[in-house]
Chain A
Amino acid sequence: MTAPTVLAAPRPVATRSRPSPPEQRKVSLRTRWRRDRSLIIMTVPAVLLLAVFAYVPMAGNIVAWQDYSPYIGILDSPFIAWDNFARVLTSPAFLHAVQNTLVITGFQLVFYFPLPIILALLLNSVLTPAIRTTIQSIVYLPHFFSWVLVVTVFQQMFGGAGLVNQIMTQNGWGSFDLMTNPDTFLVLITSQAVWKDAGWGIIIFLAALATVDPALYEASVVDGASRWRRMWHISLPALRPVVILLLILRLGDALTVGFEQLILQRGAVGAQVSEVIDTFVYYQGVINGDWGFATAAGLMKGVISLLLVLGANKLAHLFGEAGVYQKS
């Protein structure tokens, strides 16, 4: 209790990774508490909110091992070991949802992911600052629209009562309804994602391009590099760490595909093409009341996503990139 105690480092992690400066090693715990208590108090509301609304539900995943019924409650619902997980893994509907999820992720990786990079390179080549910032503010804007609004806008443009159909029928070119056609659903949701977020996606690439030393370009011009060679040898390598970072995050989110976007359109286009893991969890749990089953499906998704992020990050380190986080 007394004494100028300890190395004041309760966590081995702290000492190993970031050794405190020598003068702080002598500071006692009590002095540190007196010095830092306002800082700790400041974090209390956030920690409490997270404890209740993030950590308690994490523990609530115990429902996945129960035959849960809301009338009996978590404490008294019978344990049924791994039954829910077994049911999930043998459910054709779930496997179909997983397949849809992966198809959507794969499709968007090819047709969505590169667009912000191209757009950023294009915008970066616009020389007049006024034009560039105007375009930036325009393309960032849809990112701040809600999914309800984005889907409604698409409905008004491409739906059965939409503008395109209106023009086509007026001219006798037949009818057109993109919103309820399952065959083109992948294209539809990808276009929506592009319209909403591709513009916003360029912000990080533009920032990376802005850090490139102009002397590099200048020197390469002296060496006779053309516009395209400069892009290939200077601009693109400058973007590489960011691209890898985003790929990692995307991989970690591979099982998460536009939940709000899809649930809004599931009714119009049908579950066959629009059911993904998240919507499956919602319908099985909240709508059908099969709580344990839905929780098991959601939990598996959460754990696999976590493993994917950690794995992808490891991979990035192997390739010598910084990744999302590093062991300090």
Chain B
Amino acid sequence: MIMRPTAGTRTPRRSKHRPVWQEKPTVVGSIVKAITLTIICLAVLFPLYTVVLTSLSTQPTITEAGGLVIVPGEVTFAAYRQILAGGIVTRATMVSVGVTAVGTLLSTTVSVMCAYGLSRPSSLLHRPILFVLIITMFFSAGMIPTYLLVSGLGLIDNYLSLILPGAVSAFNVLILRNFFMGIDPAITEAARIDGAGDWRILATIAMPMSKAVVAVVALFYGVGYWNAFFNAMLYINDNAKWPLQLVLRSYVLQGVTLPGSGIGQVDVATGAVTGLPVKMAVMVLAVMPILLIYPFVQRHFTKGVIFGAVKG
């Protein structure tokens, strides 16, 4: 064991990330740690791997595996061609994309405005408005009265019912507000002296300075809209208007036969479920946008999100 008493000197063998005062990790400890963390990561990644692989496999490969494929065989995009060629899944994807895009834009805009409007502690009516916001975090009206309201407004089978009821999350507004309040008042004061109004300060100073946190909040909203299925179960009776998550639930989870798509049908000759790659392809489709956007927003998480992580 080599110990150098003088702080700051580096022995060549010490990992550059380990502080000087910290003892060298034991071999057993490191191995146990490595194995645990590997298992944890595999537990997350392995199911995704087999689902993606099965969605890309040909029927013989799947029949040979007896179901989900673990060892890669022949690759085909047939399942994706089938579900994206029009029909229920294609339509549902478009509904989900539309609702998510419009909803995220609306929610983020409204929340950013509200958060900035509440970010100057001494401003007029600031406290009562904040109070109105915070109450919604502690007491929610409940499912039935909300349902009665939405149906009373005639929004059943209307896509607005998937957007408006949950459009503003007080938590997200408070995350943004926290961030806006952290902006140095000297900067906004300077802009004000130069003649900028609050709208202009928000658009040209506060927003650009808070890009990361706005991106994270937009991600939260977007993920919420994309993943929601229960509101559609409540408000959308016409299954031609179903979003993708509801289609995933019916045709994959509950195994209802999807007309004309081969999902859920059993091949008489082999007894294997012929729709398996199609099912898996629907699953991949349902998670694709998240996998695509995640890497870009992920690095901002720790910045402004700590507060939101409590509830989110």
Contacts and interface: CB of A to CB of B under 8 A. Distances in A.
Interface of A: 11, 13-14, 18, 20-21, 24, 29, 32-33, 35-43, 45-47, 49-61, 63, 70, 74, 119, 122-123, 125-129, 135, 137-142, 144-149, 151-153, 155-157, 161-163, 166, 170, 195, 199-201, 203-204, 206-207, 214, 217-218, 221-222, 227, 245-246, 249, 252, 259-260, 263-264, 267, 278, 281-282, 285-286, 291, 294-295, 298-299, 301-303, 305-306, 309
B198 interface: yes
A57 B110 contact: no
B111 interface: yes
A138 B46 CA distance: 11
Contacts of A246: 310
Given A145-B287, A148-B245, A156-B68, A221 B22 contact: yes
Given A129-B17, A146-B245, A295 B165 contact: no
B148 A148 contact: no
Q: How would you classify the secondary structure of chain B's contact residues: helix, strand, loop or mixed?
A: helix
B80 interface: no
Contact of B147 (A199, A204, A249, A285): A285
A54 B309 contact: no
Interface of B: 15, 17-19, 21-23, 25, 33, 36-37, 40-41, 43-45, 47-48, 50-51, 65-68, 70, 110-111, 113-114, 116-118, 120-129, 132-133, 136, 138-149, 151, 164-168, 170, 173, 197-199, 202, 223, 226-230, 234, 245-246, 248-249, 252-254, 273, 280, 283, 286-287, 290, 294-295, 298, 301-302, 305-306, 309-312
A263 B228 CA distance: 13
A232 to B, nearest CB: 16
A176 B49 CA distance: 22
A41 B125 CA distance: 11
7 contacts: A32-B123, A38-B199, A49-B167, A56-B149, A141-B44, A148-B249, A156-B283
Contact of B144 (A49, A199, A298, A303): A298
Given A146-B229, A217-B21, A286-B144, A14 B309 contact: no
Given A53-B146, A54-B140, A128-B17, A43 B309 contact: no
A155 B280 CA distance: 12
A42 B306 contact: no
Q: How would you classify the secondary structure of chain A's contact residues: helix, strand, loop or mixed?
A: helix
B41 A45 contact: no
B168 A46 contact: yes
Contact of A294 (B110, B128, B144): B144
B179 to A, nearest CB: 15
Given A39-B117, A161-B273, A46 B298 contact: no
B142 A45 contact: no
Contacts of A35: 123-124
A302 B230 contact: no
Top 3 nearest A-B pairs by Cβ distance? A60-B145, A57-B141, A146-B227
A73 B248 CA distance: 35
